[in-house]
Structures are given as C-alpha cells and as structure tokens.
Amino acid sequence: MIRVQREDFDVGAELKALTQGRHEIGGVVSFVGLVRDMAGDAKIGAMTLEHYPGMTEKQLGEIEAEALRRWPLAGSLIIHRYGRLEPGEQIVLVITASAHREAAFEACHFLIDWLKTKAPFWKLEDTDKGAQWVAAESRDDKAAARWVKK
C-alpha cells in the first residue's frame, strides 16, 4: 500500500492494521525517517518537501511491486509526507511483514534505498544560512545500486 500525504502518521496504528489477524506473519520490520536539526554545519529550522503528484504515487507503486516480486511478503506499506516539516517530525514510513525476518529486513531496506533515488520528492531546507535545496548524495546512489540485479 502507498500513501502520499501532508498529515502525520501513527506508526503503532499502521503496524497493527497491517498485521491484524494475519497469523502467518512472524516478523515485521519498519523504517521511520525523521527531520534532523542539522545539515552539515547549518542549523535547520524547517524543511519543505515538494513532490510530483501522480508520478510520485506511480513510482512508489512500482518500487513496492518490485519488492513484492523479490521477497515473499505478507504485507507492505509506504507512507511519504510532503509540505512543511520541522525537526523531529516524521517524513516517511516503510513497513514490511513476512513469515520470516530475513525477507522483511531485506525488503524494507530495499524499499527505502530505492525510494530515496527514484521517488520524485525534493527537500528545501530553511537553515540559519538561508534556504537551500538538498543535493542528492552519492551514498544514496551507492545504497540503491546494491539492489540492482546483476
């Protein structure tokens, strides 16, 4: 499942909804991304997440479908927020559930790595040194490249 929304999300409620009554699930892995208060040596007051409505959902759906092809998942969820967010606020949630923990760990890690390099979101940070668009990081490209099938 994919949700792109301005509102915050409740991780506990989402975990419960995904696993409720699904007694074949043995392991659930979740990742929550939070707004940090520092970018290098600049202090962040807030950030604004811009996205591409339509393509964002499409890309996230394709990334999730790829995870479901690669791992035997009993369920998965991606929620990504947009708009203005302050330090400490939740940005993104990825949950994967499977009979065994190995598949859940790998699929969750894959989803956030691919999302970071493929889903059309852009971060504008308000810092004490002015507003700046966040630059893509080469380590994110490397993290995503690990999952490209040889």
Work out which of 2, 28, 85, 111 binds its own copies, going by CB under 8 A: 28
Residue with token string 């696993």: 19
**Helix (H) or strand (E) run with residue 131 in it:** strand 130-133
User: Applying CB under 8 A, does 3 fall inside the site for its own copies?
Assistant: no
Work out which of 16, 118, 129, 142 binds another protein, going by CB under 8 A: 118
Residue count, binding to its own copies (CB under 8 A): 36
Helical H segments across 7-148, by residue range: 11-19, 55-70, 101-118, 138-145
Say which residues have a Cβ less than 8 Å from residue 44's Cβ, sequence separation at least 6.
Answer: 35, 36, 37, 38, 87, 125, 126, 127
Strands 38-39 and 42-51: antiparallel
Beta carbon of residue 123, minimum distance to another protein (angstroms, whole number): 5
Distance CA 51, CA 82 (A): 7
User: Applying CB under 8 A, does 42 fall inside the site for another protein?
Assistant: no
Beta carbon of residue 45, minimum distance to its own copies (angstroms, whole number): 11
Distance CA 89, CA 34 (A): 6
Beta carbon of residue 11, minimum distance to another protein (angstroms, whole number): 16
Tell me whether residue 25 or residue 60 sits nearer to its own copies (CB atom): 25
Residue count, binding to another protein (CB under 8 A): 28
Residues engaged in binding another protein (CB under 8 A) = 33, 49-52, 54-55, 58, 80, 91-92, 112, 115-124, 133-137, 140
The footprint of its own copies (CB under 8 A) covers 10-13, 15, 19-38, 87-88, 99, 101-102, 104-105, 108-109, 112, 143
